[in-house]
Amino acid sequence: MKEITVKSNIRPYKVYMDNDLNKLYLALSENKIKNTDKFIIITDSKVYSIYKKNIKSFMRKFHYDIFVMDEGEENKSYKTIDRIYKFLIENNCDRNTVLFALGGGIVGDITGYVAATYMRGIRYVSIPTTLLSQVDSSVGGKVAYNLNNVKNVIGTFYDPTFVFISVNFLKTLEEKEFINGLCEVIKYGVIKKQEILKYITDNLKGILELENDKLLHIVKECIKIKSEVVESDYNDLGYRNILNFGHTVGHGIEIDSNHKVSHGIAVALGMLVAIKISEDKLNLNESFYEELETLYKKINIPTTYKVDNRKGFLYSINHDKKMENNKIKFTLLEDINKCLTKIEVDEEEILKAIDKSIGRNF
């Protein structure tokens, strides 16, 4: 297995990467999690329908129960968390219980939040099953849920005991869900390591055909970047804001579309808007927008979006976590791999950039 150690503020933990799910046994043993512990698997209905037999086979040596939540962003809510709390109490779970987060980012965030708060903190293992969660949300300690159409507004920082990534999970993803994750990979190439963009361009066929070595490479490169950024600013007070590139407008698009536009695609669109703002405010070279748009089109990532409700869209942005002193703050680019954070941007500048980028054909 490939391994990366994340040095968080609380304690270091490992991210294991392989294409063999059975190596999870090795990770459990190394982290002193035994079959005498009690396990609760938290997953969603879609993942459970695909992996029900695998779960039963793998967990045959363990005492476990399964909580299956409904899939979809609308279920990233306290209502779901409350149901899990009650499930844990009904099943006599205590501080020796270990939660398994088996699923994408929503399952990971919900499980992490429950683990952080149930009995003031219990162990959990993150097993991300989507490309988006493997390269992003499974690492960094952010756990949260949505409230009143504001994304991730209630949350805390809490690390898993370890993260286990098997790229074989990606073989069962729908193509649109895989591309959703690839958008976040592209973000890492934009903000931190341009070589990732070249790797995607040079190996696009193999990546889209889900070749193990190509998948492991991009996952490892992204986790290396994420872990380095998190280690330098765990509580997201400054430098870690570079990971928010594209997210401010992206979250607005998610809400505006009633979550019909997935997170990764929304961030990809948000990056195009942020690049146009960067051109106006930081003199970013205009050629980069064209280069990124060309890459999007090769992967069938949308390059346009119509904001139907601009008032509601701006409401979402104005209630984003990155607001400071009632000012909208963006992460922008001076140049490829050179970000500036907490740049004040007003509503007029956002709407102007939308009209020059993703909204130009409407």
The annotation status of 75 as a binding-site residue, yes or no, is yes
> Cβ(231)–Cβ(4) under 8 Å?
no
The annotation status of 76 as a binding-site residue, yes or no, is yes
| Tokens representing residue 307 in the block | 């904001």
Q: What share of the chain is helix, strand, coil (3-state, %, to 5)?
A: 55, 20, 25
- Chain centroid offset of residue 176 CA: 16
The annotation status of 247 as a binding-site residue, yes or no, is yes
The annotation status of 362 as a binding-site residue, yes or no, is no
User: Which residues are CB-contacts of 52 (< 8 A; sequence separation ≥ 6)?
Assistant: none
User: Which residues are CB-contacts of 355 (< 8 A; sequence separation ≥ 6)?
Assistant: none
The annotation status of 327 as a binding-site residue, yes or no, is no
What string of DSSP letters covers 42-55?
EEEHHHHHHHHHHH
CA distances (Å), 134 to each of 216, 220, 258, in order?
10, 9, 24
The annotation status of 130 as a binding-site residue, yes or no, is yes
- Sequence letter at residue 197: L
> Cβ(242)–Cβ(191) under 8 Å?
yes
Q: How far apart are CA 72 and CA 90, in angstroms?
A: 25
Fill in the DSSP letter of residue 336: T
The annotation status of 74 as a binding-site residue, yes or no, is yes
Q: How far apart are CA 43 and CA 45, in angstroms?
A: 7
Specify the 3-state DSSP secondary structure of 22.
helix
Fill in the DSSP letter of residue 301: -
Residue with token string 């029900």? 52
The annotation status of 151 as a binding-site residue, yes or no, is yes
The annotation status of 263 as a binding-site residue, yes or no, is yes
The annotation status of 63 as a binding-site residue, yes or no, is no
Phi, psi of 42 (to 5 degrees): -110, 125
Q: How far apart are CA 252 and CA 263, in angstroms?
A: 10
The annotation status of 71 as a binding-site residue, yes or no, is yes
The annotation status of 172 as a binding-site residue, yes or no, is yes
- Sequence letter at residue 343: I
End-to-end CA distance of the chain: 48
Specify the 3-state DSSP secondary structure of 107.
helix
The annotation status of 73 as a binding-site residue, yes or no, is yes
The annotation status of 251 as a binding-site residue, yes or no, is no
Positions at the binding site for NAD(+): 71-76, 129-130, 142, 151, 169-172
Positions at the binding site for Zn(2+): 184, 247, 263
Positions at the binding site: 71-76, 129-130, 142, 151, 169-172, 184, 247, 263
